[in-house]
Amino acid sequence: MDPLRYERRRRREPRSRRRLIIVFVVVFFLIIVGSFSYAVLFSPLFKIQNIVIEERIEDSMFQSPFPPSLGLADSAVKDKLLTGLKNHINDLDFTFLPHSLFGDDHLFGWPSGDFLAGNTAGDLNAFFDAEPHYKAITIEKKYFARGLKIEVAFRRPIGVWCTSRMNADETLIQQGNSSSSKPEGSSSGPSSSAPRQHESECRWFDSRGTPFAAAPDVAGNLILNVRDLSGQNIDTEHPVLEDRLMKNFISVAKILEEVDLPIRSFVLRNAELQEIETDPSLLFLPVFRFSVRDDPEFIRKGIAELHKIGLHKIADVDFRVPNRMYYRLR
Q: Evaluate whether 139 touches 115 at the Cβ level (below 8 Å).
A: yes
Residue with more model confidence, 161 or 87: 161
Task: Tell me the three state secondary structure of residue 207.
Answer: coil
The amino acid that residue 110 corresponds to is W
What DSSP designation does 284 have? T
- Whether the pLDDT of residue 225 is over 80: the answer is yes
Which residue, among 108, 92, 115, has the nearest Cα to 41 in the 3D structure?
108
Model confidence over 265-319: pLDDT tens digits?
999 998 889 999 998 877 778 999 999 999 999 999 999 999 999 988 999 999 9
Q: Evaluate whether 257 touches 300 at the Cβ level (below 8 Å).
A: no
- Whether the pLDDT of residue 196 is over 70: the answer is no
CA atoms within 13 A on the CB side of 227: 28
CATH topology classification for 159-177+190-329: Rossmann fold (3.40.50)
* pLDDT number for residue 13: 64
Residue with more model confidence, 116 or 62: 116
Domain residue limits, the chain: 45-154, 159-177+190-329
Cα gap 16→46, rounded to integer Å: 42
- Whether the pLDDT of residue 98 is over 80: the answer is no
Q: Which residues of 145-178 are buried (b: 16+ CB within 10 A; e: fewer)?
A: eeebbbebbbbbbbbbbbbbebebeebeebbeee
* pLDDT number for residue 326: 94
Q: Evaluate whether 156 touches 67 at the Cβ level (below 8 Å).
A: yes
- Whether the pLDDT of residue 61 is over 80: the answer is no
Confidence at 142, pLDDT banded by 50, 70, 90: very high
* pLDDT number for residue 36: 76
- Whether the pLDDT of residue 181 is over 50: the answer is no
Non-local (6+) Cβ contacts of 181 within 8 A are none
**What is the overall mean pLDDT for the chain?**
78
Model confidence over 5-46: pLDDT tens digits?
656 666 666 667 777 888 888 888 888 888 777 777 777 888
Torsion of CA 127, 109, 56, 61, to 10 degrees: -20
